[in-house]
Structure 1
Amino acid sequence: MLRIHFGWRDVQNVRLAQQPDPLWELMCAVCRWQTGQGPLEFGHWRRETAGRLTRDPRGARALDMLRAFVPTAGYIPDLLTPPVTGEGLEAGLESVRTTPRGRLESELTRLSEATPPPGGTRGPRVPATASATLVTALLRDSFHALLGPYWQQVRSSVGDDVAVRARSVLGGGTAALLDSLGPFARWNPPHLEVDYPTDRELHLEGRGLTLVPSYFCWRRPTALADPGLDPVLVYPIARQPLDIVRSGEQRLEQLLGRTRSAVLTDVASHRTRTTTEVAHTLGLAPASASYQVGVLRGAGLIVSHREGKHVAHSATPLAFGLLAGNGQTFRRGSKAWSLP
């Protein structure tokens, strides 16, 4: 168990990342790639990615080398997940690229000396010539190989989780947010008791805690190894298998186009949605999101009305009928539209 100790300043400084962190997702995805865990949730992703890697030797080579830095259990160098959550892939890669040589050597030495878990095997050896530039290149190529084709779906799923957590904050403050992390964590003031593979004590000491929702995190949260770094807790979200999401969206894309189908799916997945929320979840410019919503409204798939200072959008029955072909069930009131 990981026991995180809170002071009153820490409770005031609990933060929730608003979107997935690319490098944390990559670390978790590399682990899922190697272990075969979650056959329902990740099986199609693994099979589809394996086929794509046969046509992408650069990505396959990068992923094979990156496995040396990301064991399936035990120590993973903290430098691979720098504290730039919310700033995107390139900001994270730049932070890795500028890692001081001393820190790089220290963390890679610790990695090479780590004992494999019981019943496990040590992965590929860390290259003797490893540099921050090499690691950065491996991360970039592996991200595009493992996560690039799925990033929109990952963002959407994380956005849904963030919306749920945000509502808990509005209803009950920080305590409700920490309570919402069950069943893999329990808020027992002044401690957050987290399901964790080893026993650890983490004292926040006024630094607060950043919560990072993750699609590829599996079964239990993960955290940085060095207690001296800014505290982060990465936790698994509720997810829908990517094969269901992608197969449905591919059919919609043929009819509406990729961006427009994503906007319609996002709006239909919520009671109401503002243009700002759509843009944030899908990573669109506000003007682009507004344009796509306008086109869908003109086609009779979205209706809009004002709620206070905001204009809220919701899907029409025609839209739900169209979306029923993607294998999901969308409910409005007492009626549900789903695949027959």
Structure 2
Amino acid sequence: MPDRLHFGPDDLLRCRFAVSPLWETQEAVRTLKRPDRHGYHPQWLRRIRGASAGLDLAALWLLMPARGYCPDFIGPPPIGPAATFEEEIAAVRAADPGAAREELVRALASTPGAADSALGRTLLADPARAVRDLADAMEAAWHALVEPDWPRLRALLEADVAFHSRRLAEIGLGALVAELDPRFTWESETLTVERSAGHVRHLAGQGLVLMPSVFAWPDVVGGHDPPWQPTLVYPARGLAGLWAEPSDRTSEALVRLLGRGRATVLAALTDPATTSALAHRLGLAPSSVSAHLGALRDAGLLVSRRYGHQVLYARTPLGIALAGGGI
């Protein structure tokens, strides 16, 4: 049966997009055990093979059934639209042990025999220690699996959010949901998700968090029962170009398409950067780099986001594909 999320008037005002390094870490851990998720990530899997071998992920994997419930306190809804991993893991460490134990019981029940296993009994016997150990395991996974590639992942996720935020302003939530993923449909103020879980929830003024994910593909994930804020996780746009490696020099094909100056700027933007940082890196005048960045953004190859007093530029999925030679 599909999931159904019923919206009231207040819920429509409280929908937001978010990016979560903690969630990506959780899904990266899950992806290691799910061959059906490996299709877009062979380069990443090869690169992290040695680092992943040194991790103890047994407890996390025990709580990640292929079908069933995963404890919400391990991957709570994002604190804000751009929370850091440090902020998010602090929330995990602050989980109430009593509430965490209830979630552990429910998660272990999703896998036959898990609650009676030695590891399952250990988790349930001391939930305060379980919270600490699971947070430690998640933090170790972040450092080994996700943090080295986080600038690249964040750029793709933020490009997805920027694109869909613009579409939300153009066409509204009801039309947008089907663009996020074909398994989402909207009718009569109800968002239906074609999954086998069969959950029904009235949002009751909490609204909904919409979150793109690199590692959740090919799944869509509905998360967080009360009191957690409802969250829907969907595969981010542009996964096909995610791991494309920039060449040592700007390709002549890209130069012919964009002109040398713009091609050089696009190729150099391997990580989100400011105008001044790019100008310093390329040895160009900031005014020239600024003009190129504006043209590339207008063409849909970059997005810009303000962080405090700085404006960071990052490639969109199309920009990533072009810079990686996908033209």
TM-score w.r.t. the length of structure 1 is 0.71
1:314 to 281, 291, 296: 296
Q: Which residue of structure 1 lines up, in the alignment, with residue 165 of structure 2?
A: 166
| Distance (whole Å) between structure 1 residues aligned to residue 265 and residue 228 of structure 2 | 38
Q: Is the 8 A contact 1:161 1:237 kept in 2?
A: yes
Q: Which residue of structure 1 lines up, in the alignment, with residue 278 of structure 2?
A: 293
Q: CA deviation at 1:6?
A: 0.9
2:67 to 73, 84, 88: 73
In structure 2, the CA distance between the partners of 1:225 and 1:172, relative to structure 1 (3 Å rule), is closer
Q: Is the 8 A contact 2:156 2:242 kept in 1?
A: no
SS at match of 2:4: strand
Q: Which runs of 5+ in 1 are unaligned?
A: 254-263, 270-277, 316-322, 332-336
| Distance (whole Å) between structure 1 residues aligned to residue 107 and residue 134 of structure 2 | 14
| Distance (whole Å) between structure 1 residues aligned to residue 226 and residue 96 of structure 2 | 19
- Structure 1 letter corresponding to 2:44: W
In structure 2, the CA distance between the partners of 1:174 and 1:135, relative to structure 1 (3 Å rule), is same
| Distance (whole Å) between structure 2 residues aligned to residue 178 and residue 297 of structure 1 | 43
1:30-67 deviation digits (Å, cap 9, x = unpaired): 2211011234302232232113335xx3xx22x34422
In structure 2, the CA distance between the partners of 1:37 and 1:283, relative to structure 1 (3 Å rule), is same
Q: Root-mean-square deviation (CA), in Å?
A: 3.7
Is 1:96 the counterpart of 2:92? The answer is yes
Is 1:268 the counterpart of 2:266? The answer is yes
1:99-138 pair list within 5 angstroms:
99-116=95-112, 125-126=119-120, 127-128=122-123, 129=126, 130-138=129-137
Q: Percent identity?
A: 27
1:1-340 pair list within 5 angstroms:
1-17=2-18, 20-54=19-53, 57=54, 60-61=55-56, 63-83=57-77, 84-85=79-80, 86-116=82-112, 125-126=119-120, 127-128=122-123, 129=126, 130-241=129-240, 244-245=243-244, 247-248=245-246, 251=248, 268=266, 289-295=274-280, 296=282, 298=284, 303-305=289-291, 312=294, 314=296, 329-330=321-322, 338=325
| Distance (whole Å) between structure 1 residues aligned to residue 227 and residue 87 of structure 2 | 22
Q: Which runs of 5+ in 2 are unaligned?
A: 251-261, 298-314
In structure 2, the CA distance between the partners of 1:184 and 1:304, relative to structure 1 (3 Å rule), is same
| Distance (whole Å) between structure 1 residues aligned to residue 289 and residue 73 of structure 2 | 46
Q: Is the 8 A contact 2:214 2:239 kept in 1?
A: no
Q: CA deviation at 1:116?
A: 4.5
| Distance (whole Å) between structure 2 residues aligned to residue 300 and residue 97 of structure 1 | 43
Q: Which residue of structure 1 lines up, in the alignment, with residue 309 of structure 2?
A: none
Q: State how many pairs are aligned.
A: 285
SS at match of 1:248: coil
- Structure 1 letter corresponding to 2:9: W
Q: Is the 8 A contact 2:167 2:176 kept in 1?
A: yes
Q: Is the 8 A contact 2:37 2:215 kept in 1?
A: no
